[in-house]
Amino acid sequence: MMVNMREVAIIGVGLTKFGERWEHGLRDLMAEAGLNALNDANITSNDVEMLYGGVMASGRFIGQEHIAALLADQLGFKNIPAVRVENACASGGTALRQGYIAVASGIHDIVAVGGVEKMTDVTPSEATSALGGAGDQEWELGQGITFPGLYALMAKRHMHDFGTTEEQMAAVSVKNHKNAVKNKYAQFRREITIDEVLKSKPVADPLKILDCSPISDGAAAVILAPLEIAKKYNDTPIKIAASTQATDTLSLAERESITSLKAAQISGEKAFKQAKVKPSDIDVAEVHDCFSIAEILAMEDLGFYKKGKAAKAIADGETALGSKLSVNTSGGLKGCGHPVGATGVKQAVEITWQLRGEAADRQVNGAEIGLAHNVGGSGATAVVHIMKRIN
């Protein structure tokens, strides 16, 4: 229950290109995104009072722990409190929520939130092992299942229960790649076809390589301030109308259902209530499509479609760019890339650009309300933010 909380706005955003960034290290990527956000907010590092950094597995990927102090130092945030936030693939979204709470509570006025991951300095098998820590190591990964395997189980059950087809799942990837072509920050700026997805290398039946998000490097950052003073820094601040989070069991086997993410359902319901809007009010959404089936589940869990109806709707083009609800305009995790600690913050950056009218060729006309949905693991954590343009 929120009592006497201040309204919070995003006053600055910054992003790096996502992809295989061989020429840059983690600190370089975060510095680039952070400085872009500071410039966008028209402030300097001396104005920032607190830093939250979303990072999932820097120890496994680059051998570096104690990341918060490193990021603060690299961004010139001298002697301020800095906290690393780890919540698997929802690390970035959770960091944003922590920043939101710090400003809403009145403890801090200007808060920086960053998300970063440098994933390509290890072999694919080492990266797979690191990402597997987002699941239940003892009861899932230790028994031989992979992370794609967990989502493959969800996909198989969804196909069994609702008649979802591999072609419909492939349509998610096709849509998101098409959007990524229009995003200069995206890892994969090329269109693909349903047939290419279906014929791509099998990973975990029924998922193929083109159903899966990639291993990526990248960083994103946002600057938060109380809404009442936001226009002092930026002429187009974006209000965070809701920030919610929920959890579920870490193990997939212990869930009530494997065709729904209860944490996403709960956080979504709370977010709509907090923002005083309905799913039908959302103009643009960034949802967590780590696998093609994940976007289908998200669209149902968040209430955009009834259970079993989202796959056909996506395949029919109902969530394409320029539709009543445009989903994953950035290209999503699949097309834009998925540096796990950065993803949740990148989603907020994309929604901010959309609501400001600054999304270039992928701009959603008249976008006023946006939603970001960030998931950790196979659904043990879900974070939802709803943002509004200030007229």
Among 108, 288, 338, 385, the active-site one is 338
Q: Are residues 225 and 184 in the same domain?
A: no
Q: Are residues 102 and 186 in the same domain?
A: no
What 3-state class would DSSP assign to 217? strand
Q: Which two tokens stand for residue 216?
A: 């990526």
Q: Are residues 234 and 252 in the same domain?
A: no
Q: Are residues 202 and 322 in the same domain?
A: yes
Domain boundary among 238, 273, 297: 238
The answer to whether 278 and 242 are in contact (CB under 8 A) is no
Q: Are residues 142 and 62 in the same domain?
A: no
How many angstroms separate the Cα of 357 from the Cα of each of 37, 182, 351, 352, 389?
Answer: 17, 15, 10, 9, 10
Q: Is the pTM of this model over 0.95?
A: yes
- Residue 300 within any structural domain of the chain: yes
Given pLDDT bands bounded at 50, 70 and 90, which one contains residue 58?
very high
Give tens-digit pLDDT for 300-346: 999 999 999 999 999 999 999 999 999 999 999 999 999 999 999 99
- Residue 3 within any structural domain of the chain: no
Instruction: State which amino acid sits at residue 365.
Output: N
Q: Are residues 180 and 276 in the same domain?
A: yes
The answer to whether 7 and 226 are in contact (CB under 8 A) is yes
Domain of residue 359, residue span:
134-212+241-389
The answer to whether 135 and 250 are in contact (CB under 8 A) is yes
- Residue 2 within any structural domain of the chain: no
Given pLDDT bands bounded at 50, 70 and 90, which one contains residue 125?
confident
The answer to whether 363 and 204 are in contact (CB under 8 A) is no
Phi, psi of 347 (to 5 degrees): -60, -40
Residue carrying the six token digits 């650009």: 353
Distance CA 342, CA 380 (A): 18
* Residue 89 annotated in active site: yes
pLDDT at residue number 137: 87
Phi, psi of 137 (to 5 degrees): -60, -40
Give tens-digit pLDDT for 78-118: 899 999 999 999 999 999 999 999 999 999 999 999 999 99
- Residue 27 within any structural domain of the chain: yes
Q: Which two tokens stand for residue 92?
A: 């970035």
How many angstroms separate the Cα of 156 from the Cα of each of 54, 207, 211, 258, 378?
Answer: 32, 9, 14, 10, 15
Q: What is the CATH number of the domain that holds 275?
A: 3.40.47.10
Q: How many domains does the chain have?
A: 2
How many angstroms separate the Cα of 172 from the Cα of each of 187, 213, 250, 293?
Answer: 17, 12, 26, 8
Q: Are residues 184 and 301 in the same domain?
A: yes
Helix (H) and strand (E) counts in the chain: 13, 12
Q: Are residues 180 and 86 in the same domain?
A: no
pLDDT at residue number 92: 98
Residue carrying the six token digits 């193929």: 208
First to last CA, the chain: 27
- pLDDT of 242 above 90: yes
- Residue 48 within any structural domain of the chain: yes
Give tens-digit pLDDT for 343-373: 999 999 999 999 999 999 999 999 999 999 9
Given pLDDT bands bounded at 50, 70 and 90, which one contains residue 1?
low
pLDDT at residue number 391: 78
**Helix or strand (DSSP H, E) at 341:** helix 340-356
What 3-state class would DSSP assign to 229? helix
Q: Are residues 70 and 200 in the same domain?
A: no
Question: DSSP letters of 111-161?
Answer: EEEEEEEE-TTS-HHHHHHHHHTTS-TTTTGGGT--HHHHHHHHHHHHHHH
Report the relative pairing of strands 82-85 and 50-54 from DSSP bridges. Answer: parallel
Q: Are residues 230 and 199 in the same domain?
A: no
What 3-state class would DSSP assign to 54? strand
Q: Are residues 171 and 42 in the same domain?
A: no
The answer to whether 114 and 71 are in contact (CB under 8 A) is yes
- Residue 343 within any structural domain of the chain: yes
> Which residues fall within 8 angstroms of residue 235, CB to CB, at 6 or more apart?
none
What 3-state class would DSSP assign to 76? coil
Length of the chain counted residue by residue: 391
pLDDT at residue number 120: 95
- Residue 256 within any structural domain of the chain: yes
Residue carrying the six token digits 């008249």: 366
Domain boundary among 169, 204, 238: 238
Distance CA 105, CA 223 (A): 16
Q: Are residues 160 and 108 in the same domain?
A: no
Q: Which residues pair with 19 in a beta bridge?
A: 217
- Residue 25 within any structural domain of the chain: yes
Distance CA 210, CA 160 (A): 21
DSSP code of residue 384? E
Report the relative pairing of strands 326-327 and 284-286 from DSSP bridges. Answer: parallel
